[in-house]
Amino acid sequence: MKGFLGIDVGSVSTNVVVLTENGEIAAHLYIRTRGQPIRAVQEGLRQIEAMLPADVEIAGVGTTGSARNLTAVLVGADTVKNEITAHAVAASFLVPEAKTILEIGGQDSKIILLRDGVVIDFAMNTVCAAGTGSFLDQQASRLNIPIEEFGDLALQASNSVRIAGRCSVFAESDMIHKQQLGHNLTEIIAGLCEALVRNYLNNVGKGKEILAPVVFQGGVAANVGIKEAFQKALGMEVIVPKYFSVMGAVGAALLAKDQVSKSGRTNFKGFAASDLAYKAGSFECKGCPNLCEVIEIYQDNQVIARWGDRCGKWENLAV
């Protein structure tokens, strides 16, 4: 059986998916990157291989996410695409009529507008932490509540306390103030969920025409409190797909399948890539005033890839 491997490596999580020729998810994996993308990719390969039947042959590989270029070198990718493309392809595949994609990850958030399956507009927020999953993780930890229970507690609230959500620092101090005033914890959590949604819609979604069907994906989509807050703010149903946490990887696998159907071959190095000795380094090129920071990837002490230079000088030397 042929399978298509999709890998999405972000700052918080590394997601791996294997898609069958029939478009079914044979295996999927969500693990923490923990600031070590090379180790996360290799660990992801080991775990996903153990989850697959012995007769599965990987016929194509796609990578996406902030570490997509690095991952492509490690595994031998057939296609490398940005997160906007990967998430749009996955949403259109699992929710064919989708018109709006709300995506909130650990360190950033984005909105993608689709019309007839084509991306017509998008926006990203990579500056403020107040609208991301890492902020929710931080507040759950401060309140000594498992993040998995955060959303359920929000739904238990009969009322929500208004929390200042435009800045993570102000939001935290406002939560502490509301606790000191004696507000119920569930009401504060519900208020925080609504504050995050307000922040998202006023920044990432500002000026965007949000039409149904609306698809909510990314790790934060696991939080039912955030989903409910979106439905309340938008006045429409918000769909959370079954594979919401690994949608980038699903899109990368679909793109790999499409690419291999055209090329007829794959560059995949095999699952043995999980045991190869890789090392990353960097240096500043002083060849011109640009002072580009060039990234180098070593395999067994030999440079196998470079990128980051604007003129291509160092990239060409790595071939």
Answer yes or no: do 184 and 253 share one domain. Answer: no
Answer yes or no: do 263 and 308 share one domain. Answer: no
Answer yes or no: do 39 and 131 share one domain. Answer: no
Answer yes or no: do 216 and 119 share one domain. Answer: yes
**pTM recorded for the entire structure:** 0.84
Count of the separate structural domains present in the chain: 3
Range of the domain at 22: 2-88+248-275
**Angle at CA of residue 118, ends 220 and 208, nearest 5°:** 60
Answer yes or no: do 198 and 264 share one domain. Answer: no
Question: What is each CA distance from 188 to 17, 81, 85, 106, 283, in whole angstroms?
Answer: 36, 39, 36, 21, 47
Q: What is the CATH number of the domain that holds 151?
A: 3.30.420.40
Answer yes or no: do 56 and 142 share one domain. Answer: no
Answer yes or no: do 49 and 83 share one domain. Answer: yes
**Angle at CA of residue 260, ends 2 and 18, nearest 5°:** 40
State the pLDDT at residue 129.
Answer: 59
CB 282 within 8 A of CB 273: no
Domain final residue pick, 191, 217, 240 = 240
| pLDDT, one tens digit for every residue, the chain (319 residues) | 899 999 999 888 899 999 999 999 999 999 988 888 999 999 999 999 999 988 899 999 999 998 898 899 999 999 999 999 999 999 999 999 999 999 987 777 899 999 998 999 999 886 665 566 777 777 777 777 877 777 788 787 777 778 766 666 667 777 777 777 777 778 888 888 888 888 888 888 889 999 999 999 988 888 898 999 999 999 999 999 999 999 999 999 999 999 999 999 999 999 999 998 888 888 999 989 989 998 888 888 888 888 888 888 887 665 4
CB 186 within 8 A of CB 156: yes
- Alpha helices (H) along the chain: 37-51, 68-75, 83-94, 133-142, 147-155, 168-181, 185-203, 224-234, 247-263, 313-317
Scan for tokens 């698809």, then name that residue: 215
Answer yes or no: do 51 and 177 share one domain. Answer: no
Q: Which residues, 6+ apart, have CB-to-CB distance to 178 below 8 Å?
A: 161, 163, 188, 191
Answer yes or no: do 102 and 226 share one domain. Answer: yes
Answer yes or no: do 23 and 132 share one domain. Answer: no
Answer yes or no: do 232 and 114 share one domain. Answer: yes
Answer yes or no: do 225 and 260 share one domain. Answer: no
State the pLDDT at residue 251.
Answer: 97
State the pLDDT at residue 316.
Answer: 67
Count Cβ atoms below 10 Å from residue 127 Cβ, excluding itself.
9
State the pLDDT at residue 319.
Answer: 46
Name the 3-class secondary structure at 282. Answer: strand
